[in-house]
Amino acid sequence: MAASRGGADRDAYVANFQRRVIQSALTDASVWYYRRRAATFNAVGTTECDEIATACSNHAAFIERYGLDQDELLRDLFAVAVFGVTDEEVA
């Protein structure tokens, strides 16, 4: 079993983890991410992967059509990362 992290090591680990979560959330919310995933699944050529590719393409089209409020997403992610709360808990 790994030794528990304490002090500065733990703080650095948590800060790095928070950055990775925010980066992942922003990446997963982008059109190009879903287009790339669609192309990857489409290249496999099985029925199941073709269905997943279609779902990814549809998700990208949804984001293109209806947009994504990046500012709102960043604000919410910041609140969770820094304060550990959501808008509902603050209100």
pLDDT, tens only, 50-71: 999 999 999 889 888 887 766 7
Please tell me the distance from the alpha carbon of residue 61 to that of residue 68, in angstroms, as a whole number: 12
Could you tell me which residue, 10 or 5, shows the higher pLDDT? 10
Q: What percent of the chain has pLDDT over 70?
A: 79
3: which residues sit within 8 A by CB, 6+ positions away?
none
The reported pLDDT for the residue numbered 70 is 66
DSSP assignment of the chain equals -PPPP-HHHHHHHHHHHHHHHHHHHHHHTSHHHHHHHHHHHHHH--HHHHHHHHHHHHHHHHHHHH---HHHHHHHHHIIIIIS--HHHH-
Going by pLDDT thresholds of 50, 70 and 90, the confidence category of residue 4 is low
Going by pLDDT thresholds of 50, 70 and 90, the confidence category of residue 1 is very low
